[in-house]
Chains A and B, each alone.
Chain A
Amino acid sequence: MTTLSPGPFDVTVVESAPTALTVHVSGDLDYDTSEELVELVTRHLTRVGPAGEWEDLRLDFAELTWLDSMGLSALLMIRRRTGAARVTLHLDNRPDFLDRMLDVTNTYDHLTEAARRQDDVSEAGAN
């Protein structure tokens, strides 16, 4: 995709509040790295937090250098997981390219919809 070497991909998970997980994503979230993010987030969502169940998952994109369609696909999968776990997903510190992609694909509202208002696709719509 690029002639430059991709930004080194890294994910750090922090318990930012008793009911909130913050995931710092840095580097390129793309075909090669998106699966790693989904697996990591899924693993943390299923463990019990200090206050019992999680209420919020914050993905912090301050250090994100690029996101391709597989990266967006990963965010949609994470949204399915948070929806199933009744956790609200937040996309923080979004770079311009991420905003543009969320805008063109019309996915921002769906991704950041507050939990518990409506059941997620993975329970209702999927086959």
Chain B
Amino acid sequence: MLVVDRDGGIVDLNDVARTLLPGVARGDRLHDAVPGWLTEAHRLLARGPQESAPGHRSGSLGDRVFDAHPTASDDGDVVWWLVDDTDRRLAREALRSEQERTGILAEVSSALLSSLNVTRCMELTAHMAADHLADAAVVIAPAQGRRHPLTYACKDGAVLQANRVIDPATVPGLAEALRGFPPVPTRWINPDDIPPWAVPAGFAGPLGSVIVTPLPGHGVPAGALMLLRSSTERAFSEGEEIFARLFAARAGAALSAARMYAEQADITATLMRELLPPTLTQVHGVEYAGSYRPARDNERVGGDFYDVHPGTDPSHESLVVLGDVAGKGLEAAVLTGKIRNTLHALLPLAGDHEQMLNLLNSALLTSHHTRFATLVLASALRRAGRVHLRLTSAGHPPPLVVRRNGTVEEVATRGTLVGAMPSVIAETTETVLAPGETCLLYTDGITEARGGPMGGELFGDRRLRQALSECGGLPAEAVVERVQMLAAQWIGGGRHDDMATVAVSAPKSGALRVVNGDVPIDGSEIWHRRKG
């Protein structure tokens, strides 16, 4: 409490005020004794009308903050009640910065979680760290090969990314932070220990304080975050260190999610490259075309597959394989890969389809499951303009041949599915395609496609044959496209199984000729050969 007269002379002060204002005594002038804010408040109060005077003023005395409440007495003296407001202010300040930090964390999360791109996540992390936590930030990702991806950001500056060979041991605590385990606390680092690579190019002024904190991932380290402040700014406080850790936890979670997603996308891409059906073209004078529509449009590795293995030269048969593996998804994809690889290895034995199928069957047999495959083998050789085919079904719908006049014939081959029974039998059938004629191999996804005007009706053998009968004389590519198109139209928007088709055609030779349905077709003979 402080009593001051109209002219600014100190009339009295109590013991507490004496402690606050050491050396001040009665009779001193106010402006010599107290900070300007209180002198000014008194001056205004003494001069102005009582009612317009401010209720109270506040300011600091020493290192604490006070509210000054005036009470005027009748003789013109003013009693100033000084109330310590420091703790309340500190609490309010803490609340405000807490709210601000919560806001920043929310911003960090929403910004980072909206991206599954690793590079973008690192960029955002560095950028936001530099903006909200420090003058500059460096995100150090785990090494890829020998180099670490580094992301630099300065406050209000551009983000720079680089891959550099660095030695994490040169920054105290960085090697531990990058290993991610055991969890290491944030480290304050002597700025003199920071190697040049760790300072962003545009960083202004000498380094003041530096901290390194790990970016914790989902059980895997996502990297480390280095925060830098120039010497003109104050050093990182305890509270800022905690906040940096919270920030790092969010950034680390987002980064490792992005990294895991990238890895999975990579695995899927690798699988897809291996398992996607090849693009087919003409081989040794025989035309091939293939089409594959997987069951779910977002799952491009399914249970149907096909391959064409060209003969070593035009005098050797090429082998066409089209198959359908029971089940779907990754398990089906794995079995598909196994079958394709095994058949590739068995190519030298393709002269005897049944033997080939038996070897494949024993390679696939396992006690774990009875997942099987059905397939068609077709060996094709062009001789004197005509394509000689040997066809074998292993539990698969029989191939169809469309003659030039539109007649559709079923190739009579029968055999056992492979992969689930101790032994298999198969009958190989031979046929010859004249120029313009096509043999179609297909999976039951086509004939069992459900849809039609009423929905739920099977596309069926009859519609497939009808579609083919309109394809006499068409090139392989066109036959495949037509069949897939009709089946797709039949399904409409409904769900469907994998649908694969391969067409093998004898190309019409260069000479122009009118395709006439009435012309008797040679080379349409079919004969059967019973194996073993």
- Cross-chain pairs A/B with CB under 8 angstroms, 5 sampled: A3-B450, A4-B450, A72-B326, A76-B372, A107-B417
Interface 9-mer from A12-20, A51-59, A85-93, A117-125: A117-125
User: In the complex, which residues of chain B have a beta carbon less than 8 angstroms from the beta carbon of A125?
Assistant: 362, 365, 422-423
- Whether B425 and A2, one on each chain, are in contact in the complex, defined by CB atoms closer than 8 angstroms, is no
- Whether A106 and B362, one on each chain, are in contact in the complex, defined by CB atoms closer than 8 angstroms, is no
Interface 9-mer from B378-386, B494-502, B506-514: B494-502
Contacting residues of chain B (292-351) with chain A, CB-CB under 8 angstroms: 303, 324-328
User: In the complex, which residues of chain B have a beta carbon less than 8 angstroms from the beta carbon of A77?
Assistant: 369-370
User: Which of the residues B395, B422, B450 comes within 8 Å of A2, measured between beta carbons?
Assistant: B450
User: In the complex, which residues of chain A have a beta carbon less than 8 angstroms from the beta carbon of B421?
Assistant: 76, 107, 110, 121
User: At the interface, yes or no: B148 with Cβ under 8 Å from chain A?
Assistant: no
User: At the interface, yes or no: B371 with Cβ under 8 Å from chain A?
Assistant: yes
Give the distance to chain A from B492, nearest Cβ to Cβ, in Å.
Answer: 8
How far is it, in angstroms, between the C-alpha of A122 and the C-alpha of B367 when the chains are bound? 6
- Whether B417 and A105, one on each chain, are in contact in the complex, defined by CB atoms closer than 8 angstroms, is yes
- Whether B324 and A69, one on each chain, are in contact in the complex, defined by CB atoms closer than 8 angstroms, is yes
- Contacts A2-B450, A105-B374, A106-B415; A31 near B328 (Cβ below 8 A): yes
Residue of B nearest to A120 (CB): B422
Number of A-B contacts (CB under 8 A): 87
How far is it, in angstroms, between the C-alpha of A31 and the C-alpha of B497 when the chains are bound? 12
User: At the interface, yes or no: B50 with Cβ under 8 Å from chain A?
Assistant: no
User: At the interface, yes or no: B451 with Cβ under 8 Å from chain A?
Assistant: yes
User: At the interface, yes or no: B232 with Cβ under 8 Å from chain A?
Assistant: no
User: In the complex, which residues of chain A have a beta carbon less than 8 angstroms from the beta carbon of B325?
Assistant: 69
User: At the interface, yes or no: B517 with Cβ under 8 Å from chain A?
Assistant: no
Interface size on B, as a range, is: 35 or more
Residue of A nearest to B303 (CB): A69
How far is it, in angstroms, between the C-alpha of A4 and the C-alpha of B303 when the chains are bound? 22
How far is it, in angstroms, between the C-alpha of A33 and the C-alpha of B326 when the chains are bound? 14
User: At the interface, yes or no: A48 with Cβ under 8 Å from chain B?
Assistant: no
How far is it, in angstroms, between the C-alpha of A2 and the C-alpha of B371 when the chains are bound? 22
Residue of A nearest to B367 (CB): A126
User: In the complex, which residues of chain A have a beta carbon less than 8 angstroms from the beta carbon of B396?
Assistant: 104
- Contacts A106-B395, A125-B422; A80 near B370 (Cβ below 8 A): yes
User: At the interface, yes or no: B420 with Cβ under 8 Å from chain A?
Assistant: yes
- Contacts A121-B365, A122-B367; A69 near B327 (Cβ below 8 A): yes
- Whether A1 and B450, one on each chain, are in contact in the complex, defined by CB atoms closer than 8 angstroms, is yes
How far is it, in angstroms, between the C-alpha of A106 and the C-alpha of B420 when the chains are bound? 12
User: At the interface, yes or no: B76 with Cβ under 8 Å from chain A?
Assistant: no
Give the distance to chain B from A35, nearest Cβ to Cβ, in Å.
Answer: 10
- Contacts A70-B327, A104-B395, A125-B365; A1 near B495 (Cβ below 8 A): yes
- Contacts A69-B372, A76-B370, A127-B366; A3 near B395 (Cβ below 8 A): no
Give the distance to chain B from A122, nearest Cβ to Cβ, in Å.
Answer: 6
Interface 1/0 per residue, B406-448 and A, CB below 8 Å: 0000000011110011111100000000000000000000001
User: In the complex, which residues of chain A have a beta carbon less than 8 angstroms from the beta carbon of B397?
Assistant: 104
- Whether B422 and A1, one on each chain, are in contact in the complex, defined by CB atoms closer than 8 angstroms, is no
Q: Which of B362, B421, B448, B450 has the most CB of A within 10 A?
A: B421
Q: Which of B417, B451, B455, B494 has the most CB of A within 10 A?
A: B417
- Whether A3 and B425, one on each chain, are in contact in the complex, defined by CB atoms closer than 8 angstroms, is no
- Contacts A31-B327, A70-B326, A76-B372; A126 near B365 (Cβ below 8 A): yes
Residue of A nearest to B374 (CB): A105
User: At the interface, yes or no: B456 with Cβ under 8 Å from chain A?
Assistant: yes
- Whether B456 and A4, one on each chain, are in contact in the complex, defined by CB atoms closer than 8 angstroms, is yes
